Amino acid sequence: MKNKKGVGRVLGTQHTSTREFRVVLEDDEYLQLDDLVVVTTEVPRKGEVKTYGIVTEVEAIYEGATFESDTHRIAAEGILPAAKVRSAQVAITRIDPELWVSPDPGEVVDRATGAERDKALYKDEMGRPLAVGLGRDGEPVFVDLDFFDGRKGGHMSVSGISGVATKTSFALFFLRMLTANPEVVGEGAANMRVLVFNVKGEDLLWLDKHNKDFDETAAKGWDRLGVKPTPFQSVAFWAPPRPKSGDVVVPDISGRQEGVAAFAWTPREFVDEGLLRFLFTDASDTRNQIPFVEERVEAQLKRYAVDVAGEPGALVLRDPVEGHKPGDVVTPARGEMVIRDLKSLAEAIEEFVDPADDEPDQRWTGRVQPGTVSAFMRRLHAATNRLGHLIRAGESRRIDRLSAQVTVVGIQSLHDLGQRFVVGALLAETFAEKERSGRRFPLSVVVLDELNKYAPRDGTSPIKDMLIDIAQRGRSLGVLLVGAQQTASRVASEVMENAALKVAGRLDAAEAERAEYGWMLPSTRARARLLKPGTMILSQPAIPLPLVVDFPFPPWATRREEVVEEGDPFEGL
């Protein structure tokens, strides 16, 4: 074995350890960042032990140079004897068998390829390995799906600078790998549903269209991953109705005109599903008694609301002592207010909580100060201006998440309060359905960008409470969160701590030093400040060290100008 020639040998001028070692390279070989290596050590009384590692840094030096100017004398003038030495720092990923000894100095270091590479990346121990990118050697890098879909862990967090870190692009790439490998996903692949919120621009409203910029180089990357490069095959697109559109409901989007349906909730659905709380999602609302009033009003709405004959989804509010029961349908009396939208609902509520010529009905408000009731009504009336067009009587226009495998909900045109309302309402609906069924399958995957807005580190809100609940209990119910954010340090710790898979693109220098990125090596943190789009750092419980992976250019369009209208441009690639 001493005469065997690899890429180099374990350096003997400094101590090796069970965490790391250095390699001095052969003159005609090289190692680059993220290369995988293996060393075989003969351990007394135990036999051969193989140590696997990943290159975290490479260096070179002239041995024999003392002064900085000696470099000229060695390289240019040739008057000073010296030897050029190249070396690499290696972080240990695995020892097999698990006998924790350090590699011996002078041992031959080989590249880890084939079965040795699989061992270095623990693929041989993964229950269900799913490719999530390419390593520096161009070969697939895998995650153990058991740590995403709830068997051993759940959820994924993706962090990075906006526009550079390609957070949403990686999240969509991961979903494409998930949906394209039902044999890996197993029983969870049957009827799996994905809910994607489009929060910026209209980028995600083209996932079913070919990308004209997709080329042969990108196709080779997808080929290495074993997936045909096609857009998403089963996608449904939804958008809010255009404000002040009257009886004609038109989706409020500008770029795509076909294949998008408008969504809304009827007043009956608004009351039955307890959506009033999602009109009060600002953190400032939790520092007073407004949530108390909201809870009282929500409970009374369910007791007082009665369906109107001949008007689907419309309501009137009648005291239950008058004898009506849930499910009754009545004809409105003369002068009785019919609730057909959020504005009329707010006016009807005001008659009970803040009447102009009478005392408030304490069954609706409880014993609170008049100022609190007024603040509640101010926020409710403000909500009617910002998202009132989402509540309208008529045939139900609720989002049908069973019509396609991937459902994209465009909320980019809504006011911030409207975005919070839609996210909260759909998360509540998804979680409630899984709780009622009590079964983990079929899986429900939720992709949510700007997670720090919905689950901020400070303050409380109904949406934050729900996201924490999903993070803590969701995996047992088959509700899996793929959250993206610019800064993980601004997201609720309960959400981040429960994400088994952690991914980061390019990070701000100060952000990279935060404790939330403690899973990175010091060398990885330094690289995170310089990563290019399409390169991510991945951490998973199956591997003790983070890995740097590249993911190929997407075959689906992300902007209107990228769309290929006719044919499949990828045939033959």
Closest CA to 420 of 540, 536, 285: 285
Burial of 541 from C-beta contacts in 10 A (0-12 / 13-18 / 19+): middle
Do 262 and 326 contact (CB within 8 A), yes or no?
Answer: no
Q: How far is CA 528 from CA 165, 506, 538, 548, in A?
A: 10, 5, 11, 10
DSSP string, 291-344: HHHHHHHHHHHHHHEEEETTSTT-EEE--GGG---TT-EEPPPTTPPPB-BHHH
CA triplet 205, 452, 445: central angle to 5 degrees? 50
Query: How far is residue 335's CA from residue 46's CA, in Å, rounded to a whole number?
Result: 92
Strand partners, 388: none
Interhelix angle 342-353/290-304, rounded to 10 degrees, is: 100
DSSP for residue 392: B
Do 70 and 78 contact (CB within 8 A), yes or no?
Answer: no
Query: How far is residue 179's CA from residue 186's CA, in Å, rounded to a whole number?
Result: 11
Give the mean pLDDT of the chain. 91
What mean pLDDT comes out for the span 317-343?
86
For the domain made up of 129-262+399-564, give the CATH fold: Rossmann fold (3.40.50)
Q: Is the pLDDT of residue 234 over 90?
A: yes
Polymer length of the chain: 573
Q: Is the pLDDT of residue 570 over 70?
A: no
Burial of 299 from C-beta contacts in 10 A (0-12 / 13-18 / 19+): middle
pLDDT digits (tens, 9 = 90+) for 175-230: 999 999 999 999 888 899 999 999 988 889 999 999 999 999 999 999 999 999 99
Query: How far is residue 37's CA from residue 309's CA, in Å, rounded to a whole number?
Result: 74
Closest CA to 153 of 427, 483, 501: 501
Query: How far is residue 121's CA from residue 110's CA, in Å, rounded to a whole number?
Result: 15
**Where is 241: in which H helix or E strand?**
none
What mean pLDDT comes out for the span 351-362?
82
Grouping H, G, I as helix, E, B as strand and the rest as coil, residue 56 is strand
Residue written as token pair 């983990």: 440
pLDDT digits (tens, 9 = 90+) for 253-310: 988 878 999 999 999 999 999 999 999 987 555 557 888 899 999 999 999 999 999 9
Query: Any idea which of 353-357, 369-373, 559-563 has the lowest mean pLDDT?
Result: 353-357
Q: Report the percent of the chain where pLDDT is more than 70.
A: 96
Domain edges within the chain: 8-112, 129-262+399-564, 267-390
Query: How far is residue 310's CA from residue 330's CA, in Å, rounded to a whole number?
Result: 9
pLDDT of residue 1: 44
Q: Is the pLDDT of residue 140 over 50?
A: yes
Q: Is 534 left (phi over 0), alpha (psi -120 to 50) or beta?
A: left
pLDDT of residue 569: 56
pLDDT of residue 361: 82
Residue written as token pair 């692949």: 189
Q: How far is CA 141 from CA 124, 216, 540, in A?
A: 13, 21, 12
Query: Any idea which of 49-58, 364-373, 503-512 has the lowest mean pLDDT?
Result: 364-373
Q: Report the percent of the chain where pLDDT is more than 90.
A: 77
